[in-house]
Amino acid sequence: MVKTLAALILATFTLQAQAESLTVISFGGTNKDAQDKAFYKPFTAAGLGTIESGEYNGEMARIRAMVETGQIGWDVVELETPELQRGCEEGLFEQLDWSKLGNKTDFIPAAVSECGAGIFVWSTVLTYDASKLKKGPANWADFWNVKEFPGKRALRKSAKYTMEIALMADGVKREDVYKVLATPAGVDRAFKKLDQLKPNIQWWESGAQPLQWLVSGDVVMSSAYNGRIGAAQDEGHNFKIVWDNAIYDLDNWAIVKGSKHKALAEKFIAFANKAENQKVFAENIPYGPTNITTSKLLDPARLSKLPTAPDNLATSVQVNSDFWLEHGEDLEQRFNAWAAR
C-alpha cells in the first residue's frame, strides 16, 4: 500500500518534470487572443513546450510579492516600458542574454533593453467618427479648435500623454516635447494650454471608453489606442486615425526574477520575436512588430495601419519613459490638483 502510494507520488513528480510548462502572463482581451494565435499555439505545435497563459492588469504589486516571497508562479510577463524600467531597477526581472533571443540588429532600438524584449509597438492617436464629422481634425491643434469642431473631446485622465498632447497642440515640435516639458516653464505652458480646453474635455480611463463615446455621440473626437480603433474599424465603424504627432510606446516581455523555467522562457521569447510569428500577431491586431524584418512579410494594406509603418513612425514621438520615471509622480499630483479645480 505504502509502496504503491510512494510510486504514485514519484510518478506524478516525474510527469510534472517531463511536461515542463511555461506560465506566460499578458494583458487580456483581443490582445491575448492575438498572442494565443501568433505565439502560444505555434510554440506548443512546434513541440518546444506547453504554455500556461494568464492575464493581468499590469499590477506590479503582485510580481513584487512573488519575488520577495520566492514563490515564483509566473515566468514571462508582458509589461509597458515604465513598469519594465522600474521593475528592472528594483531587481524584479532577470537580466536578458540577447545572444539567446535573436539578432539585436533585427529589432527597432527601443525593443532591446537590459530586462525586456519588445513585443509590439502601440500608439496613442487622435481619432474621430468620419460618418459624423465630414471634415475631420488634421492635428492636435484642431483638437483645441472648438469653433470649427464644436462639442466635447476625450483625453486620458492622466498627466502622461495629456501634457505631451497639450504642448504639441501649442506648436512645440514633437522632437522638442520632452525638452520643453522638463522645464517648469514648459509644464506651466502645457497647463495653460489645457486650461483653454478644460470645459470641453471628457476624461477617459479605460481604453474602450473613448470609442463607446464616439459611437454614442458624447464626444466628437478623442485620443485612443490605435489597436482599439483597429478592432472597432473591423466591426464596421468608420473611425479615422490622425497619425500626425501620435505618441507611441512598447510592450515588452520580461522574465520574472527566480523563474524556474528560465531557459524555456528565453526559448519562448526568441520564438515569439521571430518575424513570421510577429506577422501573425500584427495580422490579428493592428499593433506594430518590433522585428524590422516582419514588415517585408506583411501585406502593404495591413502595414499602413500599423504604428510602425514608415509613414506613421516618421510623424510619431516615442514616450520618454525616463522622463516619466523621474517626473511622473510630481506631474500626476499637479495634474490631479489641476483637474479637480
| Per-residue interface string for the shown chain with other proteins, residues 36-65, x marking contact by CB under 8 A | -----------------------xxx--x-
Q: Is 63 within 8 Å of 258 (Cβ atoms)?
A: no
Determine which residue in the list 52, 203, 238, 299 makes contact with other proteins, applying CB under 8 A. Answer: 203
Helices (H), the chain: 2-18, 30-35, 41-45, 60-69, 81-89, 140-143, 159-169, 177-181, 184-197, 209-216, 226-234, 262-272, 275-284, 294-297, 300-303, 310-314, 321-340
Question: Rg for the chain (alpha carbons), in Å?
Answer: 22
Among 16, 103, 238, 336, the residue binding other proteins under the rule CB under 8 A is 336
> Cβ of residue 216: shortest distance to other proteins, in angstroms?
5
Is 333 a binding residue for other proteins by CB under 8 A? The answer is yes
* Nearest residue to 166 (alpha-carbon basis) of 127, 146, 145, 194: 194
Distances (CA, A) of 22 to 35, 175, 260, 331: 15, 40, 9, 38
One residue of 20, 52, 90, 299 binding other proteins per CB under 8 A: 90
Distances (CA, A) of 110 to 57, 69, 163, 266: 23, 32, 22, 19
Distance CA 174, CA 116 (A): 26
33 binds other proteins (CB under 8 A): no
DSSP 47-79: TS-EEEEEEE---HHHHHHHHHHT----SEEEE
Q: Tell whether residue 132 is a contact of other proteins (CB under 8 A).
A: no
User: Cβ closer to other proteins: 57 or 99?
Assistant: 57
- Verify binding: residue 89, other proteins, rule CB under 8 A: yes
d(CA 148, CA 166): 18
Q: Which amino acid is at 153?
A: R
Segment near other proteins (CB under 8 A), from 38-46, 86-94, 123-131, 223-231? Answer: 86-94
> Residue 101 CB, nearest distance to other proteins (Å)?
22
- Rounded to the nearest whole angstrom, what is the least distance from the CB of residue 24 to other proteins in the complex? 22
Among 19, 205, 236, 314, binds other proteins (CB under 8 A): 205
CB of 55 or CB of 332, closer to other proteins: 332
Residue among 59 and 299 whose Cβ is closer to other proteins: 59
Grid coordinates representing 44 are 506548443
- Cβ atoms of 200 and 218 closer than 8 Å: no
Q: Counting contacts by CB under 8 A, is residue 196 touching other proteins?
A: no
* 321-340 helix and 184-197 helix, angle to the nearest 10 degrees: 50
Interacting span for other proteins (CB under 8 A) from 45-53, 71-79, 201-209, 279-287: 201-209
| Nearer to other proteins (CB atom), residue 36 or residue 218 | 218
Task: Give yes or no for residue 332 binding other proteins (CB under 8 A).
Answer: yes
The DSSP letter of residue 98 is: G
Mask 210-229, x = binds other proteins (CB under 8 A)?
A: ------xxx-----------
Which residues of this protein are in contact with other proteins, per CB under 8 A? 59-61, 64, 86, 89-91, 157, 202-203, 205, 216-218, 325-330, 332-334, 336-341
